[in-house]
Amino acid sequence: MTEQRFFGKPLVALPAAILAAWALCAAVGPSLVGDPNHIELQRILTGPGAAGWLGFDDLGRPVWERLVVGARISFLVAALVVSISVLIGTLIGAVSGYLGGWIDEVLVRIIDIFLAFPGILLAIALAGVLGPGINNVIIALVVVGWVGFARLARAQVLSLRHREHVQAAIALGVRRGRIVLRHLLPLIVAPLIVEGTFAVAGAVIAEAGLSFLGLGVQPPTASWGSMIRDGTRYMLMAPHLVLAPGVALMLVVLGVNMLGDRLRDRLDVRG
């Protein structure tokens, strides 16, 4: 008990601080920093110093400003991908679990088909077919991301549809749509929130991976993945080009995962 109390506040404060900084950079950061595409040829590959907090890249552009712009890109992609995936996946999973029968069989087979492919490979294939760009990245990640929420929502609804309050609503003649919206969805919000936090981390990594491969955000717009890709050519002479976006990516994913673990522990009724 003493150990839990001692480590409890740091475990909550650290991910909260990381995510707050990420959200702040995404919301107001680009308006507070300078031009991320401003080129200073005399500062090419210059390391961190008074002229630039995190140094300059191979074109003489400030790494700090580009890191902040990349935070907005990753936040926007993660927020849109998870929000749309939650809506689509929860709706499909809830309908499948509640109605059952042939509808459930068809939807389960569709979910199994998507699960048969590795998620990141399917996202790469879709992004390659659709073409590079942030909009196509969001579409590709949504196509991959809704499946986990659908499977979770279906499993939760299957365990809840025989509860007394649901049977009472059926006996009173309440419509199916209202039963799902009013009597089932509120009870599965907690596991969906926990799943959503881990999905945010997955979306951030996937966006960075697609940008690293050249299928995501296109130059000159900054993205953490593209910054890491460009910096790999100068690892020996300018390691800050990879370390800055790499550490930022690691901290965001670490913060989101720690928050997800904390939420899972807090929302676990067995605890």
pLDDT by residue for the chain (271 residues), tens digit each?
444 443 455 556 778 888 888 999 888 887 888 788 888 888 888 888 887 888 888 888 999 999 999 999 999 999 999 999 999 999 999 888 888 788 889 999 998 888 888 878 888 888 888 888 888 899 999 999 999 999 999 988 888 877 877 778 778 777 877 777 777 888 888 888 888 988 999 999 999 999 998 888 888 888 999 999 989 998 888 899 999 999 999 999 999 988 888 877 776 655 4
Instruction: Output phi, psi for 141, to 5 deg.
Output: -75, -30
User: What is residue 150's predicted lDDT score, i.e. its pLDDT?
Assistant: 92
Q: What is the pLDDT of residues 48-82, one digit of tens each?
A: 888 788 888 888 899 999 999 999 999 999 999 99
User: What is residue 270's predicted lDDT score, i.e. its pLDDT?
Assistant: 52
3-state helix, strand, coil in the chain (%, to 5): 75, 0, 25
Grouping H, G, I as helix, E, B as strand and the rest as coil, residue 165 is helix
Q: What is the pLDDT of residues 198-235, one digit of tens each?
A: 899 999 999 999 999 888 888 888 899 999 998 999 88
User: What is residue 228's predicted lDDT score, i.e. its pLDDT?
Assistant: 93
Neighbouring C-alpha atoms within 13 Å toward the C-beta of 175: 3
Task: Return the biggest CA–CA distance within the chain.
Answer: 77
In this prediction the pTM is 0.85
User: What is residue 17's predicted lDDT score, i.e. its pLDDT?
Assistant: 87
Tally the residues of the chain. Answer: 271
Distance between CA 199 and CA 56 in Å, rounded?
Answer: 32
User: What is residue 130's predicted lDDT score, i.e. its pLDDT?
Assistant: 86
199 neighbors 85 (Cβ within 8 angstroms):
yes
Check residue 188 and give left, alpha or beta (phi > 0: left; psi -120 to 50: alpha). Answer: alpha
User: What is residue 29's predicted lDDT score, i.e. its pLDDT?
Assistant: 80
Top CATH class, 77-267: mainly alpha
Distance between CA 39 and CA 56 in Å, rounded?
Answer: 9
88 neighbors 151 (Cβ within 8 angstroms):
no
What is the crossing angle of helices 63-99 and 101-115, to 10°? 150
**CA angle 211-215-220, nearest 5°?**
60
Residue type, 157: V
Non-local (6+) Cβ contacts of 106 within 8 A are none
